[in-house]
Chains A and B, each alone.
Chain A
Amino acid sequence: MDYRNEDQPSGAAPNEIDGLSIVSEEDGAQVEDAGRRTFLKATGIAALGSALAVPFARFFPEGLSPVGIAQAQDMDAYAFKDQLTLLNDRPVNAETAAHLLDDKITPANRLFIRNNGMVPDHALAMDATGWTLTVDGEVDNPLELTLDQLKSDFEVVTRQLVLECGGNGRAFFVPGASGNQWTTGAVGCPEWTGVRMRDVLNAAGVKPTAVYTGHYGNDPHLSGDPDKVSISRGIPIEKALEEDSLIVWAMNGEDLPAIHGFPLRTIVPGYPGSTAQKWLNRIWVRDVVHDGPKMGGYSYRMPAYPVAPGTEVPEEDMVIMTTMPVKSLITSPATGTNSVGRSLDVRGHAWADGDVTSVHVSHDFGQTWQEANLEKPRNKYCWQHFNATIELPQAGYYEIWARATDTNGYTQPVTTPGWNPRGYGNNMVHRIAVIAS
């Protein structure tokens, strides 16, 4: 796929491309040809041009909207990724196959991407000149901190923390749920460097009236409307004041990549990744549960009671999703590996909202389970590595399953857990296939 502007046909007359009339804003909504194609232009590219008064809308080639040019830049910011599965290119969303997550510390080029809007211009240019973080709302002393102030005025911490999209596993729900169809790869565990959110909030002085945070970034909305916010979610103030909720500027010792929130983002381990606001420029401390875009409706919300698959649940019965469920991934061997030995070494990672206490593996479709070796986490909310040697009884086809259990005694279900309208929280057992020779 190539979306570069310069590769598009450019020789056509400004007002006529492929024989079709494209209206400019000077022409208003008038089009020369009646009929279906006119409708298409009026509803699509031309409507965008006139509604938003995009300069020179008439020069945009057919099929390439103003947003499409921005899209090409987003894909430039994506180019360093290594073998990710691209689910969407506008907005950019991509996940990582399980065997590509084998590293103990997820490299930046293997970390999934979940964008709600476009990558902002400052990030594409990797230019943080003048960047500030505002902390306001229910605080005694509102702050406006430069990056240098953040880095010098607070204790700098480095933690390895799981980041996982709330919709990871959505693809397995039937009937389907709207949103990116993540299978298992919207997760990673890089090392993050920054400051504790609580240190910054305490410097501002959190008032007793504070109940929630609201996080803001500057990623442009897909509609192109500069007044619209792509996403603004938040967390309960108690979670914001936890030791491991961070404001970070570095991943694996380097500046955040453009597509991951340069120069600043939040990381809220144990919570859905949507609370980890990219391109962070404001934390608004609220006296009510935050009501920014994608806090309400069905976004990152679960039914208050179990529902049958496909149920239309009233919006008022949806509650905000908080902690993520216990989960594991087999990262070696890759699924589909042929000619493995009868003595098979498997390994992977397990994580939860807190610690994982055990991981079990099975080679016979869950009829028998064998406890794997499980390492302690490097720090709280870091994923834990497991390994096991499985003796396969004879040559043939096997599925290897992995199942983690957390400190609360919760274990992964073998099939999808409760269906919900947006397909969140699927922590079903991970399965891979191998042929033993």
Chain B
Amino acid sequence: MKRSYSSFILTCVFAIGVAALARSDNALAESATLNPMKTPNPMMPNPGMPMSPMSVAPMQPLGGLAGQPETGVARDPEHGNLPISAGMEETYYSCTACHSAQTFAQMRLTDERWEYLWDWMIKEQGMADYGEEARTVILGYLKEHFSSER
């Protein structure tokens, strides 16, 4: 998935030569020390939609993120209209055992939140533990297509 949003962030970040800060276990300390690789610029321009129909929808979610379909990717109507790539079928069949594909397809999350949700579903929501291989495949697919990071 290619988004002008993420590429713009990366360009800016590398242009000013700022390296990613090491993660801290202390969330308070981390929140007080902004990570330019992960922290969105609050003044980020709304990317990629100049003079589009969005101009009459000022409440369109910013950044082309949540709810905005990824463009330039083929979709499979047989599998919840999900973007076609490695991991699609594993994701579709595993997830829709309990809930619709819309449940996850409407989200745009950080990698860490996807990891958290997997564990939360096993611990709290009665999801079977499909094992490490399935986890890698399915989370890889979700992080590729439903990410706020790329």
Contacts and interface: CB of A to CB of B under 8 A. Distances in A.
B13 to A, nearest CB: 14
Contact of A176 (B44, B107, B124): B107
A228 B99 CA distance: 15
Interface string B119-139: 010001111101000100000
A39 B56 contact: no
B107 A178 contact: yes
B126 A225 contact: yes
Interface in B59-118: 59, 61-63, 65-67, 78, 89-90, 93-94, 96-100, 102-103, 106-110, 112-113, 116-117
A335 B57 CA distance: 7
Contacts of A43: 90, 93-94, 97, 128, 130, 134
Contacts of A69: none
Given A40-B89, A67-B97, A178-B117, A308 B126 contact: no
A54 B61 CA distance: 41
B102 A88 contact: yes
A353 B27 CA distance: 30
A317 to B, nearest CB: 6
B52 interface: no
A4 to B, nearest CB: 16
A297 B116 CA distance: 11
A207 interface: no
Contact of B31 (A65, A178, A308): A308
Contacts of A179: 107
Interface of B is mostly: loop
B28 interface: yes
Interface residues of B, number: 53
A44 B97 CA distance: 5
Given A174-B148, A176-B148, A305 B126 contact: no
B58 interface: yes
Nearest to A180: B106
A308 B125 contact: no
A265 B17 CA distance: 56
Given A174-B65, A176-B66, A179-B107, A433 B126 contact: no
A176 B108 contact: yes
A293 interface: yes
A309 interface: yes
Nearest to A310: B38
A53 interface: no
A305 B113 contact: no
B31 A306 contact: yes
Interface in A158-189: 170-181, 183-184
Contacts of A399: 58
A181 B66 contact: yes
A435 B130 CA distance: 53
Interface string A426-437: 000011110100
Interface residues of A, number: 65
Interface in A259-282: none
B67 A171 contact: yes
Contacts of A313: 27, 31
Contacts of A430: 59
Contacts, number: 161
A71 B100 contact: yes
A243 to B, nearest CB: 35
Residue from the set A40, A44, A90 with the largest chain B CB neighbour count within 10 Å: A44
A27 interface: no
A67 B90 CA distance: 18
A178 B130 contact: no
A45 interface: yes
A172 B148 CA distance: 12
B93 A40 contact: yes
Interface string B25-64: 0011011001100111010100000000001111101110
Given A305-B28, A433-B56, A87 B106 contact: yes
Given A39-B90, A177-B107, A223-B127, 17 more contacts: A40-B89, A43-B130, A45-B97, A65-B96, A67-B97, A87-B106, A172-B66, A175-B108, A178-B109, A222-B98, A308-B34, A310-B35, A310-B148, A336-B57, A421-B113, A431-B59, A433-B56
Interface of A: 36-37, 39-41, 43-45, 47-48, 51, 63, 65, 67-68, 71, 87-91, 170-181, 183-184, 221-225, 228, 293, 297, 305-314, 317, 335-336, 397, 399, 415, 421, 430-433, 435
Interface of B: 27-28, 30-31, 34-35, 38-40, 42, 44, 55-59, 61-63, 65-67, 78, 89-90, 93-94, 96-100, 102-103, 106-110, 112-113, 116-117, 120, 124-128, 130, 134, 148-149
Q: List the 9 closest A-B pairs by CB distance, nearest first.
A: A175-B148, A44-B93, A223-B126, A176-B108, A336-B56, A90-B100, A431-B58, A307-B31, A40-B93
20 contacts: A36-B90, A40-B94, A41-B93, A68-B96, A88-B99, A89-B102, A181-B66, A181-B107, A184-B59, A221-B125, A228-B126, A308-B34, A310-B38, A311-B30, A314-B27, A335-B56, A433-B55, A433-B57, A433-B58, A435-B56
